[in-house]
Chains A and B, each alone.
Chain A
Amino acid sequence: MISNAVDRAMQSAGRYDQAEAYASDTLVHTVYIDDSKISNIETKRDVGMMFRMSKDSRLGKSSVSLNSDDSVDRCMSMAESVLSFSPVNGEFRGYAQPGNARIAQPDVWDRRVENITADELRELAKCIIENCRVDIPRAQIRVSTTESRTMNGNGVDVGHRSTLVYGHFTSMTVRDHPGEGMETFHGTHLDLDPVAIADALSDKAEAAAECREFKGSEKLTMILPPSEMGDMLMSSVGAAVNGENRKYGSTMWKDSLDSQVASESLTIVDDPTVRAPLSCVFDDEGVPTERRVIVEGGILRNFMNDTFCGDSTGNGMRRSSVEAQGSYDRTPVIKPLNMSVKPGSYSRDQIVEQTDNGILVEKFAWPEADELTGRFGLNVRCGYIIRKGEIVDVINNALLMGNMLEAVANIEMIGNDPTQMGVVTVPTMSFSGTELVGN
């Protein structure tokens, strides 16, 4: 279906200077757990396309769900309408040029996901419920298949198919002052371990139930496990190395190429060659991808670009690492394919043992630094206070403050436990110079 739509759109696109059609077909199965019971099971089919073109430096763009016979014509007619009103755009450099694949096809298709049934999903959810020692108030497991095709007037014609598995789980102890835990799973294959997830959910909720309110304020070392580190890295470093932010002057690292921006221990590679949700041979604009060093020994080596920014690095993505549906509805944006921090040699226990005064954050309200400045002030839902290498307390209801773009220059230790968290793969990391404030 999507191949026909793309062919049909491009066959009538000859009158434009540049044209591109992208279509995707997604099948999503989701099981929801509410209150430790399976509440909903969903099956969703989502098919659509986006058409983009330029003529005389004017741009047109439209997207539609492919829900009727005239959907492709409607899409092109809407794009034509946009084009006719578009002012001249001096920034547009053209869509992708054809190029040969630079990496081998990564392992991103799981036949188990392709063939999954509602009963199998139900059993997976049941296994988590039965093995969890505490309540599961809310959880979901979502598995999907996506097939897409990108074609443009420059000769690009590439297809992609992948599977996606995403799990989000919350847990809660039943007490007067309950504790809450959370786990996520990001992957392409159904290698989610339900018993391990149930154990982690139980441990986290029980630990959170023991929290006491932190009082006072102090400077200390911040230790972030992968669950919190992923979004903290993405919102700070991910934004700082985004080529569009550089183009528009809205990254603190805009003039820092080949300069030291972080500790020498930090090396970051965007690696689409391994099994990861957005790994692919061509990005969603049809540009070949490759393994690319972003930060090497603390030195900024590369920014990430799409075709809009020019010199595309193959990071123009419509697909999401957590949700398969709707990729045709999204204009490509610069996104890491799999931004991986080179792991260190320390286990999490060793990092704790070697920390004199610190906090190991089990859970923030939401791990996020300011994309522009790197600043953060985050509510700690559950954190372990460390004194002289030992956990002495578990606290909540405090603010941990710092700046991630400064923190990466103050790395103390990097763990040996890299974990996939969406579009990043990160280990536990510790940073000096943060401040904890309580009541």
Chain B
Amino acid sequence: MMSGCTICATDVQDILSKAVDVMRDSGAEFADARSQTIRNIGVSTTNGELRQLVQKSTGGVCLRAWIGGRWGYGTVTSFGKDAIIDAAREAVRNASGERKSDLELEPSTVKCHMGAQVRIHPDSVDLSEKISAAIDVDNAQAIDDRIVNRVGAYSEEVKENCLVNSAGSDISWQEVRTLCRAMAIAADGQRMERYYDGPDSTLGFEVVKDADLELIGRTAADEAIATLGAVRAPSGNLTVISDPMVSGLLAHEAMGHASEGDEITKRRSFLTDAVGRKVASDIISMYDNGTVAGAHGSVPFDDEGTPSSCTRIIENGVYTGYMHSLETASQLGCRPTGNGRAENFGKRVWVRMTNTYFAPGEWDKDELIADTKDGILCDKMINGMEDPVGGCFEAKCLRGYIVKNGEVTDMVQSFTLTGRSVDILCSADALTKEVVLDGGMCGKGIEDWVRVSSGGPYMRARMIVGGGQ
């Protein structure tokens, strides 16, 4: 298959080195230059017809200069030497002005060139197979007239990164992500409901090859129809059994965002100065780990060239630490953790999560349900929102079930969970044995989307529940 580009990010390493020299010579105390090409293929079908089929190749260079505690950025969608050097000078100009601080960064020096760790590289697979994957999950949903809208989707992303900095780092690496999804909408009179299913990863086309596409499509359709019979969820402060997806949403929204180093340096997080403090029940441990093989949020290096790592955030209920970029690590006197990430070459580097999850417990799922007298069991999430200042969170669930006297009873339609994060985690009294990660996109505030995953086991805790009308 074609690679889709004749000039790639990795072809400009020498120019990046020169750009870093230009920034240093112009007064930058630290400088880095990062080039990136991003190749995407996206296929989506609706009701058996092809709706989208697109190949994209975007690329450019981001130059950063650090002067007086401030970053200046220059970005271009050009791999030409003159344009890159001009952007380097622009970065220095943007960083200049009144000094903000004398903070010095402590980047690691890394020399490494690596490809993606995949079994079947998407570049080696015919586009027709990718189209077939989307059509197969679409057609598998055609099981009932009540399915009014079927969507099958396949997407892949191949990201080539190259980074040079003034600390002597010289790195290139490739990231591959593959995703396949089914989404079914069922209608019955004036009621409409939906359900989705499908795998995602930093793996190659094996994600599709190894999946039962027929089952994924049929499950989405079956469950969308079943949801038409769901009743309104109860409201109030209830016992909730979060499924791995919603547990992950809690990890990400309730504690993850508030553990990002920049929220700590600004004292914008309720977890500022929390290291050593009890923030959850003894059974809760939580990590952000960019090294999980195959997980959607894994990266070998962050966008500042720091190798990815596993950060212990909570250990047996005690808060243990934050995630860092180069800047926040220096501000707090810590080592960078490999969490300085950007959506792409055209966006700012922030402290961002990778794969964030709760560690497993000792219960079986059936045992946990049998032990619950009165509660609500979550089934898949829609989205969530963090509240680092207030210490709360919001998690929207796609649907759930009432648990009564140890048995799963009525299905309930979409509902929302909220509450104070620490109160909820302190009320957690049971976790199941298996951790599942679910991939998605994470925005910071309202934009800057990066690929992450989150997850955990089934978890039982007390939360405020509200069902929409």
Q: Interface with B: A297-305, A386-394, A398-406, which one?
A: A398-406
A67 touches B79 (CB 8 A): yes
A67 touches B59 (CB 8 A): yes
Chain B residue numbers with a CB within 8 Å of A325 are: 346
Q: Which residue of A lies closest to B64 (CB)?
A: A40
List which A120-138 residues lie within 8 A (CB) of chain B: 122, 135, 137-138
Chain B residue numbers with a CB within 8 Å of A61 are: 52-55
List which B49-100 residues lie within 8 A (CB) of chain A: 49-60, 70-80, 83, 87, 90, 93-95, 97, 100
Quick check: is A250 within 8 A (CB to CB) of the other chain?
yes
Which of A135, A170, A365, A377 has a CB less than 8 Å from the CB of B467? A377
Determine how close the nearest CB of chain A comes to the CB of B381; give it in whole angstroms: 13
Complex CA–CA separation, A326 to B344 (angstroms): 11
Which of B52, B57, B76, B396 has a CB less than 8 Å from the CB of A78? B57
Which of A65, A179, A396 has a CB less than 8 Å from the CB of B57? A65
A67 touches B7 (CB 8 A): yes
Quick check: is B268 within 8 A (CB to CB) of the other chain?
yes
Chain B residue numbers with a CB within 8 Å of A252 are: 190, 192
B56 touches A68 (CB 8 A): no
Determine how close the nearest CB of chain A comes to the CB of B9; give it in whole angstroms: 10
Chain A residue numbers with a CB within 8 Å of B187 are: 249
List which B8-54 residues lie within 8 A (CB) of chain A: 46-47, 49-54
Using C-beta atoms within 8 Å of the partner chain, give the interface range for chain B. 35 or more
Which of B57, B235, B418 has a CB less than 8 Å from the CB of A379? B418
Quick check: is B276 within 8 A (CB to CB) of the other chain?
no
Q: Chain A 171-183, CB within 8 Å of chain B: the 1/0 string?
A: 0101000111000
Chain A residue numbers with a CB within 8 Å of B78 are: 45, 47, 66-68
B416 touches A366 (CB 8 A): no
Quick check: is A349 within 8 A (CB to CB) of the other chain?
no
Which of B56, B194, B267, B416 has a CB less than 8 Å from the CB of A372? B194
A67 touches B390 (CB 8 A): no
Chain A residue numbers with a CB within 8 Å of B73 are: 40-44
Given contacts A38-B70, A40-B72, A379-B385, whether A64 and B268 have CB atoms under 8 Å apart is no
| Residue tally, chain A, CB below 8 Å to B | 88
Q: Which residue of B lies closest to A247 (CB)?
A: B46
Quick check: is B365 within 8 A (CB to CB) of the other chain?
no
Chain A residue numbers with a CB within 8 Å of B60 are: 46, 65, 67
Quick check: is B394 within 8 A (CB to CB) of the other chain?
yes
A365 touches B71 (CB 8 A): no
Complex CA–CA separation, A90 to B193 (angstroms): 27
A41 touches B94 (CB 8 A): yes
Complex CA–CA separation, A433 to B60 (angstroms): 51
Chain B residue numbers with a CB within 8 Å of A77 are: 2
B7, B149, B394, B446: residue with the most chain A Cβ atoms closer than 10 Å:
B394
Q: Which residue of A lies closest to B57 (CB)?
A: A64
A63 touches B58 (CB 8 A): yes
A32 touches B416 (CB 8 A): no
Quick check: is B119 within 8 A (CB to CB) of the other chain?
no
Chain B residue numbers with a CB within 8 Å of A378 are: 394, 416
B392 touches A397 (CB 8 A): yes
List which B260-315 residues lie within 8 A (CB) of chain A: 262-263, 265-268
Quick check: is B464 within 8 A (CB to CB) of the other chain?
yes
Determine how close the nearest CB of chain B comes to the CB of A125; give it in whole angstroms: 11
Given contacts A172-B268, A249-B187, whether A62 and B59 have CB atoms under 8 Å apart is no
Q: Chain A 40-58, CB within 8 Å of chain B: the 1/0 string?
A: 1111111110000000000
Q: Interface with A: B109-117, B125-133, B450-458, which one?
A: B125-133
Given contacts A37-B100, A403-B468, whether A377 and B415 have CB atoms under 8 Å apart is yes
B469 touches A401 (CB 8 A): yes
Complex CA–CA separation, A314 to B47 (angstroms): 25
List which A358-376 residues lie within 8 A (CB) of chain B: 365-366, 370, 372-373, 375-376
Given contacts A174-B267, A248-B149, whether A375 and B469 have CB atoms under 8 Å apart is yes
Q: Which residue of B lies closest to A81 (CB)?
A: B2
B94 touches A59 (CB 8 A): no
Chain A residue numbers with a CB within 8 Å of B54 are: 61-63, 82, 331
Complex CA–CA separation, A112 to B389 (angstroms): 36
Determine how close the nearest CB of chain A comes to the CB of B273; give it in whole angstroms: 12
Q: Chain A 269-289, CB within 8 Å of chain B: the 1/0 string?
A: 000000000000000000000
A34 touches B262 (CB 8 A): yes
B447 touches A41 (CB 8 A): no
Given contacts A137-B268, A377-B415, whether A399 and B466 have CB atoms under 8 Å apart is yes
A122 touches B97 (CB 8 A): yes
B390 touches A381 (CB 8 A): yes
Complex CA–CA separation, A63 to B194 (angstroms): 31
6 contacts between A and B (CB under 8 A): A82-B54, A137-B263, A217-B235, A248-B148, A366-B394, A397-B390
The 9 closest A-B pairs by CB, nearest first: A375-B468, A399-B466, A377-B416, A42-B73, A41-B94, A379-B394, A249-B148, A85-B127, A65-B77
Known A38-B97, A401-B466; further 9 A-B contacts with Cβ < 8 A: A40-B94, A41-B72, A41-B95, A44-B75, A68-B80, A168-B445, A377-B414, A437-B236, A439-B464
Which B residues lie at the A interface, using CB under 8 A? 2, 4-7, 46-47, 49-60, 70-80, 83, 87, 90, 93-95, 97, 100, 126-128, 131, 135, 148-149, 185, 187, 190, 192-194, 235-237, 262-263, 265-268, 346, 348, 382, 385, 387, 389-390, 392-394, 396, 413-416, 418-420, 445-447, 464-469
